[in-house]
């Protein structure tokens, strides 16, 4: 593969922006401040007046480019991989909306078939079906239930090495046995779409749940139960310093002050930005579907978000990595360094991947080059150029 020299860019990593040149050798970052001669067999990217950041890490997304992971086809996987790569996401966690077990097994099989072609897919995230009917959001109620022993066995045997994270409601029955089995098999657990009180959520954190899925969305906050003001999942996440959270920071789902509050309490080390992107992400359609393509799943896309056809509620996001970056700075008023961190280093840590998310020697060469208007010019995935200035989209 040879060398790539990213010359003279404003490199964002580790909370700093520094003007320097990065040398990539094969799939690895070889030197983070290269001053030598241009090596032989070297591709040069002139990054003068551009920003150079680690590739984005999106731990929660359902689709893009007109496809949803639940389409369970190679074509869908490749298109979603491509559209998010081109928008800077070099590590993505394909997420399954609550589905029948047969569809989940099919998704796992498709993932295994597409590993080569989709270099940015890390592993699967199951968002349900073991979630609360009271906090179902856009999930289909009839599919939601407590995990059975048979399902637990099936997920472990079939999903080994592929399922990386599961979002569940810890207040459901049989959850202790479920949680033990998943944690034993290296699957991380998040509280989400849950109606838990803070007591129940704190118990879950003690039992190995370590994260909260899209904080504020389908997670209760303070409310009155039998005359008593009870804290909810949100406050439990705030009270436990070890717990990490994710926010759909698309400028639509979470208002500025709600995001600022989460950051004030948790800090940039514990907050990851996610897209939770649906099928229409990365396209310019104004009509699409939430999950499976059928008339009852129709959604409209307007004002940068997917909505139910009667506009009564958001149906999901159409964000991509670079859109989240732009919103972090322009909508939420965060610094470029903080925004990049919550799109790279922090989610990489949440996934437990030690060699991505920073521009550091020996790290994987996942790199994004963008201009001051947040337009992507180059994307490098594992040392390979996937997008170049001037190419379409
Ligand atoms: Zn989701």
Domains in the chain: boundaries: 3-53+359-387, 56-351
Q: What is the pLDDT of residues 54-99, one digit of tens each?
A: 999 999 999 999 999 999 999 999 999 999 999 999 999 999 999 9
Distance 264 CA to ligand 1 centre (A): 24
- From the CA of 95, how far away is ligand 1's center (Å)? 7
pLDDT of residue 369: 98
Q: Render the burial of 33-58: b for 16+ CB within 10 Å, e for the rest.
A: ebeeeeeeeeeebebeebbbbbbbbb
CA 96–ligand 1 middle distance (angstroms): 8
Query: Distance from the CA of 122 to the center of ligand 1, in angstroms?
Result: 16
Q: Is the pLDDT of residue 195 over 80?
A: yes
pLDDT at 393 over 80: no
**In 226-370, at which residue ranges do the beta strands (DSSP E only) sit?**
228-230, 244-248, 271-274, 287-289, 298-302, 305-307, 314-317, 367-370
- Choices 3.40.50.2300, 2.40.110.10, 3.40.50.1820, 2.30.40.10: CATH for 3-53+359-387: 2.30.40.10
Centroid of ligand 1 to alpha carbon of 255 (angstroms): 18
Q: In CATH, what class is 56-351?
A: alpha beta
Instruction: State the pTM of this model.
Output: 0.97
pLDDT digits (tens, 9 = 90+) for 253-267: 999 999 999 999 999
Which long-range CB contacts under 8 A does 337-343 form with residues at least 24 apart?
Answer: 337/12, 337/15, 337/16, 337/17, 338/268, 339/273, 340/12, 340/13, 340/53, 340/54, 341/15, 341/268, 342/249, 342/268, 342/271, 342/272, 342/273, 343/56, 343/57, 343/58, 343/272, 343/273
Would you place residue 125 in the very low, low, confident or very high pLDDT band (cuts 50, 70, 90)?
Answer: very high
Per-residue confidence (pLDDT) for residue 170, from 0 to 100: 98
pLDDT above 70 covers a percentage of the chain that reads 99
CA distance 380 to 335: 24
Q: Does the fold of domain 56-351 match that of domain 3-53+359-387?
A: no
Task: Kindly state the average pLDDT of the residues 100-121.
Answer: 96
- Give the distance (Å) from ligand 1 centre to CA of residue 364: 27
User: What's the confidence (pLDDT) of residue 391?
Assistant: 58
Q: What is the pLDDT of residues 144-160, one digit of tens each?
A: 999 999 999 999 999 99
Residues 178-193: pLDDT tens digits? 999 999 999 999 999 9
Categorize the per-residue pLDDT at 313 as very low, low, confident or very high, splitting at 50, 70 and 90. Answer: confident
């Amino acid at each position: 593969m040879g060398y790539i020299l990213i010359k003279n860019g404003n490199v964002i990593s580790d909370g700093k922006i520094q003007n320097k040149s990065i040398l990539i050798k094969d799939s690895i970052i070889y030197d983070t401040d290269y001053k030598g001669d241009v090596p032989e067999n070297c591709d040069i990217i002139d990054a003068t007046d551009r920003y150079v950041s680690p590739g984005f890490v999106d731990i929660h997304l359902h689709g893009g480019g007109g496809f949803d992971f639940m389409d369970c086809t190679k074509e869908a996987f490749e298109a979603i991989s491509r559209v998010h790569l081109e928008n800077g996401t070099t590590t993505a966690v394909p997420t399954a909306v609550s589905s029948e077990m047969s569809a989940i097994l099919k998704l796992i099989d498709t993932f295994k078939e597409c590993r080569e072609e989709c270099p940015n897919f890390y592993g699967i995230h199951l968002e349900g079906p073991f979630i609360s009917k009271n906090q179902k959001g856009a999930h289909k109620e009839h599919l939601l239930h407590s995990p059975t022993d048979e399902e637990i066995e099936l997920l472990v045997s079939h999903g080994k090495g592929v399922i990386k994270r599961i979002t569940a409601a810890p207040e459901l029955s049989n959850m202790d046995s479920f949680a033990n089995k998943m944690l034993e098999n290296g699957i991380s657990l998040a509280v989400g779409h849950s109606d838990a009180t803070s007591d129940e959520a704190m118990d879950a954190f003690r039992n190995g749940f370590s994260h909260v899925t899209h904080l504020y969305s389908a997670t209760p906050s303070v409310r009155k139960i039998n005359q008593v003001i009870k804290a909810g999942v949100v406050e439990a996440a705030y009270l436990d310093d070890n717990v990490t959270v994710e926010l759909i920071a698309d400028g639509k789902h979470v208002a500025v002050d709600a995001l600022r509050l989460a950051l004030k309490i948790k800090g940039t080390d514990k907050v990851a930005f996610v897209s939770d992107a649906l099928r229409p992400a990365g396209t310019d359609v104004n009509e699409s579907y939430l999950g499976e393509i059928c008339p009852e799943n129709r959604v409209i896309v307007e004002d940068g978000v997917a909505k139910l056809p009667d506009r009564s509620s958001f149906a999901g996001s159409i964000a991509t990595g670079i859109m989240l970056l732009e919103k972090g700075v322009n909508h939420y008023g965060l610094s470029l360094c903080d925004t990049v961190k919550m799109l790279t280093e922090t989610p990489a840590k949440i996934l437990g991947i030690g060699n991505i998310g920073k521009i550091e020697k020996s790290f994987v060469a996942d790199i994004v080059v963008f201009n001051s208007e947040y337009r992507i010019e180059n994307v490098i995935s594992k040392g390979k150029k996937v997008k170049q200035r001037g190419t379409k989209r």
